[in-house]
């Protein structure tokens, strides 16, 4: 222990003679540690946020969409519409598959909505049935959701999203008031809980829910729907359930083998995997930047250690003359190089933690600390110091006392 303390004192004294170069070497390691930890924390936070968004949409959920849908980035795009998906299809799905727990047919379209002198130009109107809120994990804050009786009797009632309630009514209580949806009056019977933006970027609070039958007859005058939400009995059964749904709908829609489907079954886990893949690419770029920063820091340590060896030839020669072994010299210079890298790593951890707190507080992301990021950054900083100190320490052992005396 005394030898270690002595080596540290000598290291600090030697490095203080080269303040600027030491600071630059420390800064390189600091940047590498900072980049690695911040990127790791952000990656885990974004993954956690995406998982929360998927869970928010519903548990073990499949979405049957009329027409052909393709993934674009982390969202989806409707390429072609179809008029073949019906409420009867939803009934056939739940009756024909033992892997399906429940289904909820729905249809939607954007319309202007008015209350008094206030008009919202575009609000998504969703025709839904009673179990929609349960399957899609969408709870009512005040009042009630659409009931089976509302759907059966074609009642003109509406449960409005939180954002719609604020924009139309402000601080006024909306329950019992009438709003105009595309010139048709609807009585507000409930307000949904705040939901936020989903994984595709859609604001789920900018919606109004009305009975499906009322939507089809009074609003759009159609007999087909564009969505069926399917709740599978378990996560492991999702792939099998998806294949069964596709087979059921192909038979019902009389699609021949090899023909193009007029529907798309969307597994939200695929959306999660796609978004996670995109975030992994960003994380890879961040980690690459961290490696470059560590490399620059390592070169900085290497250069300053070579300079220190050349400047301390007399000291090394005297130490060798009075009995210091080669391993003592190697240990001394490795201690100095590791001290530089460890100092940069320690400061980097502190700064990155503070930066993470600021980023999460400003962005609203869930606070997450990556243990692996901290562990890897610590060993990386120490490893860079050891690797950068090997060559200078070996060079120091080749200095002979007699050569120093001659010079």
Q: What CA–CA distance (Å, rounded) separates 207 from 83?
A: 23
**Does position 5 have pLDDT exceeding 70, yes or no?**
no
Q: What CA–CA distance (Å, rounded) separates 363 from 341?
A: 31
Mean pLDDT of the chain: 82
The pair phi, psi for residue 287, each rounded to 5°, is: -70, -35
Does 106 or 9 have the greater pLDDT score?
106
**Does position 297 have pLDDT exceeding 90, yes or no?**
no
| Tokens at 141, concatenated | 């804050």
As to burial, measured by CB atoms within 10 angstroms (0-12 exposed, 13-18 middle, 19+ buried), residue 325 is exposed
Q: Which residues pair with 78 in a beta bridge?
A: 69
Does 25 or 70 have the greater pLDDT score?
25
In this prediction, residues 82-94 reach a mean pLDDT of 90
- DSSP states of 276-313 as a string? HHHHHHHHHHHHHHHHHHHHHHHHHHHHHHHHHHHHTH
Residue 54 is predicted with a pLDDT of: 64
The overall pTM is greater than 0.85 = no
In the DSSP assignment, the letter for residue 203 is: B
List, for residues 202-258, the tens digit of each pLDDT value: 788 999 999 999 999 999 999 899 999 999 888 788 889 999 999 999 999 988 887
Does 247 or 40 have the greater pLDDT score?
247
**Does position 362 have pLDDT exceeding 70, yes or no?**
yes
- What percentage of the chain has pLDDT greater than the value 90? 29
**Does position 90 have pLDDT exceeding 50, yes or no?**
yes
Residues 6+ apart with CB under 8 A from 388: 298, 299, 301, 302, 305, 337, 341
As to burial, measured by CB atoms within 10 angstroms (0-12 exposed, 13-18 middle, 19+ buried), residue 95 is exposed
Q: Which residues pair with 316 in a beta bridge?
A: none
Residue 207 is predicted with a pLDDT of: 94
Residue 296 is predicted with a pLDDT of: 77
Residue 159 · residue 140 · CB < 8 Å: yes
Tell me the CA distances in angstroms from 258 to 81, 93, 242, 253, 254, one per residue in order: 19, 22, 18, 14, 12
List, for residues 329-341, the tens digit of each pLDDT value: 777 778 878 888 8
Q: pLDDT-derived band of residue 291, with 50, 70 and 90 as boundaries?
A: confident
Does 16 or 89 have the greater pLDDT score?
89
Does 399 or 351 have the greater pLDDT score?
351
């Amino acid at each position: 222990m005394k030898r270690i303390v002595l080596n540290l004192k000598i290291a600090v004294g030697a490095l203080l003679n080269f303040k600027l170069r030491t600071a630059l070497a420390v800064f390189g390691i600091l940047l590498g540690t900072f980049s690695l930890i911040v990127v790791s924390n952000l990656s885990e936070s974004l993954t956690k946020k995406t998982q929360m968004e998927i869970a928010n949409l519903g548990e073990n959920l499949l979405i049957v969409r009329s027409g052909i849908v393709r993934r674009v980035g982390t969202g989806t795009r409707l390429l072609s519409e179809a008029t073949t998906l019906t409420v009867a299809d939803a009934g056939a799905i739940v009756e024909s598959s033992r892997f399906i727990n429940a289904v909820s047919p729905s249809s939607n379209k954007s319309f202007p909505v008015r209350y008094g002198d206030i008009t919202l130009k575009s609000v998504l109107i969703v025709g839904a049935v009673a179990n929609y809120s349960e399957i899609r994990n969408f709870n009512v804050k005040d009042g009630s959701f659409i009931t089976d009786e509302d759907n059966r009797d074609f009642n003109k009632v509406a449960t409005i999203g939180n954002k719609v309630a604020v924009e139309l009514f402000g601080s006024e209580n909306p329950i019992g008031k009438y709003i105009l949806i595309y010139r048709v009056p609807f009585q507000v019977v409930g307000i949904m809980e705040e939901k936020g933006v989903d994984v595709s970027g859609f604001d789920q609070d900018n919606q109004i829910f009305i009975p499906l039958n009322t939507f089809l007859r009074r609003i759009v005058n159609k007999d087909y729907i564009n969505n069926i939400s399917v709740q599978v009995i378990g996560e492991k059964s999702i792939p099998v359930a998806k294949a069964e749904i596709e087979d059921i709908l192909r038979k019902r829609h009389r699609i021949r083998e090899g023909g193009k489907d007029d529907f798309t079954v969307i597994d939200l886990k695929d959306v999660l995997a796609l978004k996670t893949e995109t975030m992994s690419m960003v994380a890879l770029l961040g980690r690459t930047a961290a490696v470059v920063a560590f490399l620059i820091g390592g070169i900085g340590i290497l250069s300053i250690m070579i300079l220190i060896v050349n400047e301390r030839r007399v000291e090394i020669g005297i130490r060798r003359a009075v009995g210091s072994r080669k391993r003592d010299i190697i240990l001394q210079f490795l201690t100095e190089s590791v001290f530089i890298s460890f100092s940069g790593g320690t400061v980097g951890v502190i700064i990155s933690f503070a930066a993470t707190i600021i980023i999460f507080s400003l962005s609203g992301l869930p606070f997450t600390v990556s243990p692996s990021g901290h562990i890897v950054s610590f060993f990386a900083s120490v490893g860079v110091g050891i690797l950068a100190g090997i060559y200078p320490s070996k060079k120091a052992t080749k200095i002979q006392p007699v050569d120093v005396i001659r010079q």
